[in-house]
Structure 1
Amino acid sequence: MRKAIIKRFILVMVGAMVFSGILFYTTVSNTMHKNTKEDMRLSLIMLDNSLDYTEPLMNQIKILSTTLDQKQARYTILDAKGDVIADTGTMDIENLENHFEREEVQKALSDGIGYAKRYSTTIKTQMLYTAVTSSKSDYILRIAIPYSGNSEYLFWLLPSIMISITVSALLAVVMADKLTKTITKPLQQIAYIMDNYKEENPELSLPNTPYEELNIITQSAKKMSESVEKYTEEIEFERMVRQEFFSNASHELKTPITSIRGYTEILLSEFTPDEATREEFLKRILTETESMTNLINDILLISRLETRDYEIETTEIRMAMLLQDIIKTLQPIAAKQGVDLQTECKPAIIKANKQHMRELLLNLIGNAIKYNKPNGMVYVTITTIGRDLLIEVKDTGIGIPKESRVRVFERFYRVDKGRSRKVDGTGLGLSIVKHIVNFYGGNITLESKLNVGSTFTVRLPEVKANM
């Protein structure tokens, strides 16, 4: 990586210097070209001021041209018609063609000064021409010098450009080396720390760097470490929950299966019980079968609610009618337990699966009855807050210890295992409630105090008033 950065940095620097050299060459060449034209103009003005137009001009310009600072310059004097009057390049002026149509002459006649670049057929070379009108006569003065374009300045500028590029390349190597060290060193530290990452010590302590981009990498690595740690904890927790679930499920199924097997073996044995005993055994087998069926149905319901892999039928449910129906179902159980049921239900309609809502209320109210005290009370309140449905089930029962309140919604979790064995049920009631609430995007809270009672509050979204 370091070599690649240095190589690319040098290439960029050299490329930049080459571009700068070309730009420098072009700028300087244009400036020198402009200065050359200005020098030619000044030479013509000096020549014009030095000439005596009443005397022969040929000898004058030959003498004066040697005093002007223009090497290899050719001076020409033209009349207003473009005919050559005098020329330092030849004595045979009579054979020279008329210059009236020349570009620089036309510009001089119109603007007072004119410039042109072209190939001279007379001396067989590329020339730069400057022409001005005389301030003392009607003549036109012209100067011409050999000119090959900007390339003629390259000979003078090339050494400076090459030295600049060489020095810049050397500086680029030194700077690139130092720069790459400041980048690669933190990366090496990050790589070393991540290579020595240990599961037993998952916290990453990464250094801050002077570069914001590298700090983004370190922050991302820290977040990744935290995510991995959290994910690992979740996997471990799920593994423990799953293990406990299978253990509890097998235990819950084993008890009725053992009973069914025992009764069946007696019925099939040589010992033939009387008709009343046979009927009692068959009733117990039926009861245990129903218990297993309920357990399996509860497990399947939780699984479907978790995976959401089945289609449900939703309908508009009038909560008052549903609550009234459930109270009728549970009233005999409450009376047997000596528990009084009190309800208050505001008119409300929720669009949901009716069996889900029935299971939710049956489990909450059923638990409030089961774990209550003799002569206890259960208060059920259903109301609306905004567009949310609020269900509150409050009892005067035995309460739930603080350390168990977080776990009561886990599958098969029982606060008092001794008491729970005496109470009918699968041990999945509150877990089903929690999964139903989550399925509809709601939430459930629990408040409890030992020997005083518990309050479960469910809040479900998207409800409308019953008109």
Structure 2
Amino acid sequence: MVKRIFRSVVLVAALVLVTSLVCIMGVLYQYFNGQFQKELKSEAAYLSVGVEQNGTDYLTQINDHEKRITLIAADGTVLYDNTADIAQMENHRDREEVREAMENGSGKSSRQSSTLSEQTYYYALQLSDGNILRVSGTQYSVWRLLFGLLQPIAIVFAVVLILSAVFADRAAKKIVEPINALDLERPDELEGYDELSPFFVKIRRQNRQIQKQLNEAKQKQKEFSMITENMQEGFLVINQQTELLSYNSSAMRILQSPGAGEGQSVLELNHSAPFRNTVDRVLSGEHQETELTLEGKIYRLIANPVWRHDQISGAVLVLLDVTEQVEREDLRREFTANISHELKTPLTSISGFAEIMQQGFVKPQDIEKFSGNIFTESQRLISLVNDIIKLSQLDEGSVPYEPEEVDLFSLAGQVAARLEASAGQNGVNMAVEGEPVFVKAVRPILEEVLYNLCDNAIKYNRPQGKVTVIAKQKDGKPFVSVQDTGIGIPAAEQGRVFERFYRVDKSHSKEIGGTGLGLSIVKHGAAYLGAQLTLQSRPGVGTVISLSWDQ
């Protein structure tokens, strides 16, 4: 603050000095310039009287060579000049001061020298005989005058700056002295300038606010510790240097470490390559997910960078136990992978039965039975293969169709018509409600999704139950839902019904039929269509599955 006051005072003094010099020089220059022009005018008037009375001879008798005297005829021819050979001089009729004198009786003008160091002033007076008497003189420009006074000005400037610096230093220290004596830890005892009273009030207010924020931060820290300590998941916070800033006991348990000391690197807790690579990449700004196998369990390590002012200041690491999930997914993948192999056995049987029948080794009364078994098994296998192909296409995004405008209400009616016979066999009533509503989607996929939803609603309904398809605009968005009055889905099962080959009621799977892939096709189809899929269900009441679009 002392330096700032010092610089400000010295700068103000320098600016005042420079401004004063400029103003003074400007005023003096204008004053002397005016006086000079008045002298030219007076001298011209004086000379005009002599020329009127004595003619040109009067001018030759004048020995004053400080002023240039020129006599010009009415046609611009130079008749006399006391400094130049009139024979070599050009016509002066177009000179500004001469032209003005011919028009108004007198005229004046000024011209700058090529070096800008001198300026010549001209005053012309018209005589009674029409001739023009012109008197001119040269004067230094303001820049030439300043240059001539440069040394004394520099001396004055240096003296003023030195004095300003001395006084500024003393004044700055005197001003800051009471401020340096302030005790900000005790704002109630602050004394000083009256102008600082608002500052003291603000300090008191800020001290109270800081104390309040510290108390809130401590409370939040306690709450955060309680939450993280009761988490089953491991939680770690590290800085840019991989040093541990925070962690919970679950993380130490998972990583089999008794604890971490201050400044300890997180890389010391686990030396595996996946763990180290994840830490390195997250600290370079990338979101990372990887799996770690620790003591026979599988953990998913999720790492997110922490940004501050567009710079990475650290990262948050979370360890999730996904052993059961991974094992379940492995079983699902293994089961799906074995489908193709399992299909070969029934297909071989079907082929064998057909070959026996073709060779005529089947009794006539058994042909119908054999044919029925072949047809049933083949249809089931075809459905299974078709569903697997559909899921594969949706997974790979290789659906051979283009989006188009589809009327949800009309499409729902068409699906209901296709399932009318199936609904009648199961004693279920179907209804389509709503209004025409259009959405841009792949029609075959959307139709397959609605068909599977309605088919499931019929199969898992109760006798004399009802299936209602509603298509409309909801909250300004395209919306379609399939509601049934069936057996419902327990809350514990609702998160898994969209898994492949998963059945809520496994004991009745043969009676109900199907491939177990219907709702999985619904899930993947909705994702492909960009629709939000929601499920609401209550056992014994029914199920509602809805699709909505943001378009």
TM-score (norm 2): 0.43
- Residue by residue over 1:313-370, the C-alpha shift from the partner in whole angstroms, topping out at 9 and shown as x without a partner, is 2222222222222111111111111111122031111222221111111111111111
Report the Cα offset of residue 386 of structure 1.
4.3
Match of 2:439 in 1: 350
**Higher helix proportion:** 1
Displacement of 1:449 after TM fit?
A: 1.6
Q: Percent identity?
A: 34
Deviation at 1:250, TM superposition (A): 5.6
Paired residue for 2:331? 240
Pairing 1:299–2:393 present: no
Q: What's the counterpart of residue 427 of structure 1?
A: 516
Q: Is contact 1:341–1:379 with CA below 8 Å preserved after alignment?
A: yes
Matched, 1:264 2:354: yes
Q: Aligned pair in 2 of structure 1 residues 248, 443: CA closer, same or farther (>3 Å)?
A: farther
Where in structure 2 are the equivalents of 1:216-255 lying within 5 Å?
Answer: 219-220=314-315, 222-223=316-317, 226=319, 238-246=329-337, 253=343
Tell me the distance in 2 between the aligned counterparts of 1:335 and 1:267: 35
How far 1:305 sits from its partner (Å)?
0.9
Query: Is residue 429–residue 467 contact of structure 2 (8 Å, CA) maintained in 1?
Result: yes
Shift of 1:312: 2.1
Aligned residues: 275
* Contact map agreement 1:108 1:114 (CA 8 A) in 2: no
- Structure 1 position 241, deviation (Å): 2.8
**CA-to-aligned-CA distance 1:158-185 (integer Å, 9 cap, x gap):** xxxxxxxxxxxxxxxxxxxxxxx9x9x9
Whole-Å Cα distance in 1 between the matches of residues 334 and 327 of structure 2?
10
> Secondary structure at 1:344's aligned position in 2?
strand
Gaps of 5+ in 1: 1-106, 116-180, 205-211, 463-467
Correspondence 1:168-207 to 2 at 5 A: 189-195=265-271, 199-200=293-294
Cα distance change, pair 262–400 in 1 and its aligned pair in 2 (3 A): farther
Q: Deviations over 1:426-464 (max 9, x none)?
A: 1111000111111122221212222221111222332xx
Distance 1:256 1:192, change over 3 A: same
- Give the CA deviation at 1:271: 3.1
Alpha-carbon distance in 2 for matches of 1:110, 1:360: 95
Q: In 1, Cα distance between the equivalents of 2:483 and 2:349? A: 36
Paired residue type of 1:257: L
1:323 equivalent in alignment to 2:399:
no
Please say which of residues 319-328 and 352-361 is displaced more in the overlay.
Answer: 319-328
CA distance in 2, matches of 1:403, 1:335: 31
Determine which of 470, 484, 503 is the counterpart of 1:381: 470
TM-superposed CA distance for 1:403, in Å, is: 1.9
Counterpart contact for 1:383–1:390, Cα < 8 Å: yes
Superposition map of 1:37-436 within 5 A: 111=151, 189-195=265-271, 199-200=293-294, 219-220=314-315, 222-223=316-317, 226=319, 238-246=329-337, 253=343, 256-257=346-347, 260-261=350-351, 263-264=353-354, 266-267=356-357, 271-274=361-364, 277-436=366-525
2: CA distance between counterparts of 1:307 and 1:264?
36
> Could you tell me whether the CA contact under 8 Å between 2:431 and 2:468 is conserved in 1?
yes
Deviates more, 1:423-432 or 1:281-290: 281-290
Counterpart amino acid of residue 240 in structure 1: L
The question of whether the paired residues in 2 share the 8 Å contact of 1:440 and 1:461 is answered with no
SS in 2 for 1:403: coil
Tell me, yes or no, if the aligned pair for 2:300 and 2:322 is still in contact at 8 Å: no
Q: Work out the CA distance in 2 between the residues paired with 1:114 and 1:402.
A: 93
Tell whether the 8 Å contact from 1:248 to 1:412 is kept in structure 2 after alignment: no
With the length of structure 1 as denominator, give the TM-score of the two structures. 0.50
Q: 1:450 aligns with which of 530, 535, 539?
A: 539
Post-superposition shift, 1:254? 6.4
Mark the CA change 1:270 to 1:320 in structure 2 (over 3 Å): closer, same or farther. closer
Please name the residue that 2:121 is paired with. none
Change (3 A) 1:289 1:379: same
- Corresponding letter in the other structure for 2:446: M
1:256: Cα distance to partner? 4.3
Deviates further, 302-311 or 400-409: 302-311
C-alpha contact 1:317 1:350 (8 A) present in aligned 2: yes
1:350, 1:266 → 2: CA distance? 52
